[in-house]
Amino acid sequence: MTEPHEGDIPDGLSAAELGMWQSFRNGTTYDLRTYDSARNDPFAPHVWGPERSVGARTVARLLLSGPPARPGRVAALKLRGVRITGKLDLAGGRVSPYVELTGCRFEQEVVLPECHFTTLRMVGCLLPRLEAARLHTEGDL
């Protein structure tokens, strides 16, 4: 992937990642839930395919060095019903954007030791492992 400048979209993003990238810049919720509420439960055994999947590396890139917000907007990562593949490692990082994850499924561990957030909300999410020693937030956790 190339480095983004002034909102440029990196090469190689999947359709789901592209949607997440655009929602981040707009500060809007990226909702990948289906019409079938039983299939939206992250704790249920249903398979969430690539149409609902984003890579942890892309999530980390948005949170640590994401593109600027669109004019008149506030950049934020708000995800619903999204499967995050790979290990999300933000250890020691500073995350300025607002983060709200609802009903999401993490395929691998989430690593947040000594990470600084403004607000981090994870509601009804499946995480196989969370490492968060000395995690710091200025807002909600």
3 falls within a domain: no
pLDDT of residue 59: 98
4 falls within a domain: no
pLDDT of residue 139: 79
Question: Residue 116 is part of which domain span?
Answer: 15-137
86 falls within a domain: yes
Alpha helices in the chain (DSSP H): 15-26, 56-65
What's this model's pTM, rounded to 2 decimal places?
0.91
9 falls within a domain: no
State the total domains in the chain.
1
Alpha carbon distance 82, 91 (integer Å): 22
Alpha carbon distance 126, 105 (integer Å): 5
Alpha helices in 27-135 (DSSP H): 56-65
Alpha carbon distance 23, 45 (integer Å): 28
Give, for all 141 residues of the chain, the pLDDT tens digit: 444 444 578 889 999 999 999 999 999 999 999 998 889 999 999 999 999 999 999 999 999 999 999 999 999 999 999 999 999 999 999 999 999 999 999 999 999 999 999 999 999 999 999 999 999 998 776
25 falls within a domain: yes
pLDDT of residue 141: 67
10 falls within a domain: no
